[in-house]
Chains A and B, each alone.
Chain A
Amino acid sequence: MTSHDAVAAASPSARPRRRQRVRLAAFMRHVLLVVACGLALYPIFFMVTTAFKTRADYLANPYSLPWPISFGNFSQAVDGGAFGTWFKNSVILTLGSVILSTAFAALAAFAVARMRWRGRHVFLSVNVALMVVPPVVMLIPLFIFFTDLHLVSTYQGVILIYAGLTLPFSVYLLTNFFRSIPHELVESALVDGSGNLGILLRIVLPLSVPALVTLVVVNALWVWNELLIALVFLPEDRLKTLMVGVTVFQNRYNLDVPVTMAGMLLASLPMILLYLFGQRFFIRGLTAGAVKG
């Protein structure tokens, strides 16, 4: 079998031509990726530039860069929307549900990964299957049930729902990580006379910080961005989340595009900042369920 390289080396004129072709192919690939990146960024570019334009500037030219830069849209957005309240509600729900989900998942994953008991394989399989059950299936019965329990329009009710919905993924991710911790480390703690809970708290969890950060980031992103549950279970104005607030805001400023975009930019800022600082945790977490699936 002759390789291309051998043929190319044999004829003196073939090599530069081949190299040229390779260079052209590489160039085409860059073109393709640059176009893809342009498509990925354009709507964000539109949101950011429009947010800094006056309404007259926007109507005169919707794609130009904003000049002079105007901050008026932001003060109008803050005055017109209840961004402070929405933001506070989203933070409370995200913190509450992520803490609850992580705590319950850590206890369960510890038992699955480190203890022998009947049903642990079934328990893990059930969690894997539940990871993809869509919330809309449970929506109607949960709403009726929570109405009876007076949990609609309360933080506690929605925190329970979000914690429950993120629990299967949390159990799955932490179980995989806890299994990878070397047995000797756990053994040594046993010799020191630690109890089971002590081993979890003093050995396993401190060694699992990367997995915990990944888990918190992924779950926080999911809860922060969720719309359907928030829409149904928190209808009162004082309890609306940022995502529900954003839809209310858009209805109010429908015709004023720059103010709407200023509102959208304010609402996306927390997650964009988190992504810029913790990109690897996003990528690791969002692929964790699949790569070794």
Chain B
Amino acid sequence: MLRTRPWVPYLYVAPAIALLALIFAYPIVKVIDFSTRLIRGSTGPRVGTLNYRLVFEDPTFRDAAKHSALLLLAVPVLLFISVVVSVLLYERMRGWKLYRSILFIPYILAVPIVGIVASYLFSLNGVVNSILRGMGLDGLALDWLGSERLALWTVMAVIIWREVGFGIILFLARLLSMSEEPLEAARIDGASWWNRLRYVILPELRGTIEFYVVVASITMLAWVFAYVYTLTSGGPGTSTTILELYIYNQGLRNSLPGMASAVAVLLLGATTILIGIRFWFNSRRSDEEVTA
């Protein structure tokens, strides 16, 4: 540690703290305040829990909450694909670096571009349906984005398509950083592929799995606006409206910032709980390490 005058370190963190206060702290305090007011311009009279009651009575909000919750179903899918593919790649099969580079490419593409390209692939007369028809599966050539029943699942598939690249890279990086000795020992002892996965690899990945589940859940709840905006804009009807889109529409299009703020507070609460779970996992693990 460098020896400094006591106030010097604060000088170094001051710009960062000022910027974090402007972009995070102040807006978070304000959004909580806004959610209890009838906002006109930049403030308004207090109305207690009115915004929250209005939100819960709004069928569009209930739809949006339901859809955001349903998108969480993508998390186990993402986890499964990422772990399986990263373990396959980890076994240093020929060409694993090339496979890795290719599987990561979707994650490099910008979400709006992915959304627009996918909206053509999945349109009624798009390529997906012409392939299905070409294979004689006319019954499966559905209106993937235009039907209320299917649109959310199609959006979810597109999200998984792009986001899975991150999961693969993440688990592979963790695997490559672990010591090879336990795995080698298990192999010499004749442990089957499945047992090596179950008793050697998965325990090593536990911390990364916990991290990934939390981050992917937060992503599905609150970072998928650009997918929905470019694929369906929330439609048809409200069948793909999610919480982020609801905040955007109510706050900026319908000029109801109070209601939008109430939903933002709920979303912040959900995120905080998820971050809390992550910290709890971490502290539990370091306790184990201390006692071990």
Chain A contacts to B: CB under 8 angstroms:
1-5, 25-26, 29-30, 32-33, 36-37, 39-41, 43-44, 46-47, 62-63, 100, 103-105, 107-108, 110-112, 114-117, 120, 123, 126-127, 129-130, 132-134, 136-145, 147-148, 160-161, 163-165, 167-168, 171, 186, 190, 196, 199, 221, 224-225, 227-228, 231-232, 243, 246-247, 250, 257, 260-261, 264, 267-268, 271-272, 275, 279, 282-283, 286-287, 290-291, 293
Question: Contact at B16–A132, with CB atoms within 8 Å?
Answer: no
* Given A140-B257, A164-B20, 14 new contacts (CB under 8 A): A30-B93, A100-B19, A130-B24, A140-B34, A140-B252, A141-B31, A164-B23, A165-B23, A228-B229, A243-B112, A257-B120, A283-B169, A286-B107, A286-B170
**Given A37-B102, A145-B30, A228-B248: A29 and B93 within 8 A (CB)?**
yes
CA distance A161 to B9 in the complex (A): 25
5 pairs, CB–CB < 8 Å, chain A vs chain B: A43-B114, A43-B117, A127-B20, A171-B16, A279-B104
> Which residues of chain B from 108 to 145 have a CB within 8 Å of any chain A CB?
108-114, 116-118, 120-121, 127, 130-131
**Given A41-B105, A139-B248: A47 and B268 within 8 A (CB)?**
no
B149 at interface by CB-CB < 8 Å: no
3 closest pairs, A vs B, by CB? A164-B23, A134-B222, A141-B30
**Interface residue range, chain B:** 35 or more
B264 contact set on A, CB distance < 8 A: 136-140
Neighbour of B211 across the interface among A142, A232, A293, CB < 8 A: A293
How does the 8 Å CB contact mask read for B198-233 relative to A, with 1 for contact and 0 for none? 000000000110011011001001110110011000
Neighbour of B9 across the interface among A43, A117, A264, A286, CB < 8 A: A117
A96 shortest CB reach to chain B, Å? 13
Of all chain B residues, the one with the shortest Cβ separation from A43 is B117
Question: Contact at A246–B127, with CB atoms within 8 Å?
Answer: no
Neighbour of A137 across the interface among B8, B13, B20, B267, CB < 8 A: B267
Question: Contact at A221–B9, with CB atoms within 8 Å?
Answer: no
B104 shortest CB reach to chain A, Å? 7
CA distance A139 to B26 in the complex (A): 12
B248 contact set on A, CB distance < 8 A: 136, 139, 228, 232
Question: Contact at B218–A134, with CB atoms within 8 Å?
Answer: yes
> Which residues of chain B from 54 to 108 have a CB within 8 Å of any chain A CB?
85, 88-89, 91, 93, 95, 99, 101-108
CA distance A279 to B41 in the complex (A): 47
**Given A47-B117, A120-B9: A293 and B207 within 8 A (CB)?**
yes
A248 shortest CB reach to chain B, Å? 11
Question: Contact at A32–B261, with CB atoms within 8 Å?
Answer: no
CA distance A141 to B265 in the complex (A): 12
Of all chain B residues, the one with the shortest Cβ separation from A41 is B102
A283 contact set on B, CB distance < 8 A: 104, 169, 173
Question: Contact at B22–A160, with CB atoms within 8 Å?
Answer: yes
How does the 8 Å CB contact mask read for B247-279 relative to A, with 1 for contact and 0 for none? 110011000010011001101100100110001
Question: Contact at B244–A115, with CB atoms within 8 Å?
Answer: no
Question: Contact at B31–A268, with CB atoms within 8 Å?
Answer: no
Question: Contact at A115–B15, with CB atoms within 8 Å?
Answer: no
**Which has the most chain A C-beta neighbours within 10 Å: B19, B112, B120, B244?**
B112
A161 shortest CB reach to chain B, Å? 6
B52 at interface by CB-CB < 8 Å: no
A232 contact set on B, CB distance < 8 A: 248, 252
Of all chain B residues, the one with the shortest Cβ separation from A162 is B23
How does the 8 Å CB contact mask read for B155-192 relative to A, with 1 for contact and 0 for none? 00000010001100110011001000000000011100
CA distance A137 to B2 in the complex (A): 38
CA distance A170 to B155 in the complex (A): 31
B292 at interface by CB-CB < 8 Å: no
Question: Contact at A105–B16, with CB atoms within 8 Å?
Answer: yes
Question: Contact at B15–A108, with CB atoms within 8 Å?
Answer: yes
A268 contact set on B, CB distance < 8 A: 109-110, 113
CA distance A132 to B117 in the complex (A): 28
B26 contact set on A, CB distance < 8 A: 141, 145
B261 contact set on A, CB distance < 8 A: 140-141
Question: Contact at A46–B251, with CB atoms within 8 Å?
Answer: no
B91 contact set on A, CB distance < 8 A: 29
**Given A107-B13, A246-B113: A279 and B101 within 8 A (CB)?**
yes
Question: Contact at B110–A141, with CB atoms within 8 Å?
Answer: no
Question: Contact at A116–B12, with CB atoms within 8 Å?
Answer: no
Of all chain A residues, the one with the shortest Cβ separation from B227 is A227
Of all chain B residues, the one with the shortest Cβ separation from A143 is B252
CA distance A27 to B123 in the complex (A): 35
Neighbour of B27 across the interface among A108, A138, A167, A260, CB < 8 A: A138
A165 contact set on B, CB distance < 8 A: 23
Question: Contact at A108–B127, with CB atoms within 8 Å?
Answer: no
CA distance A3 to B191 in the complex (A): 8
CA distance A134 to B268 in the complex (A): 8
CA distance A250 to B282 in the complex (A): 45
A240 shortest CB reach to chain B, Å? 12
**Given A123-B13, A138-B24, A283-B173: A290 and B212 within 8 A (CB)?**
yes
Question: Contact at B226–A139, with CB atoms within 8 Å?
Answer: no
A221 contact set on B, CB distance < 8 A: 108
B244 shortest CB reach to chain A, Å? 5
B4 at interface by CB-CB < 8 Å: yes
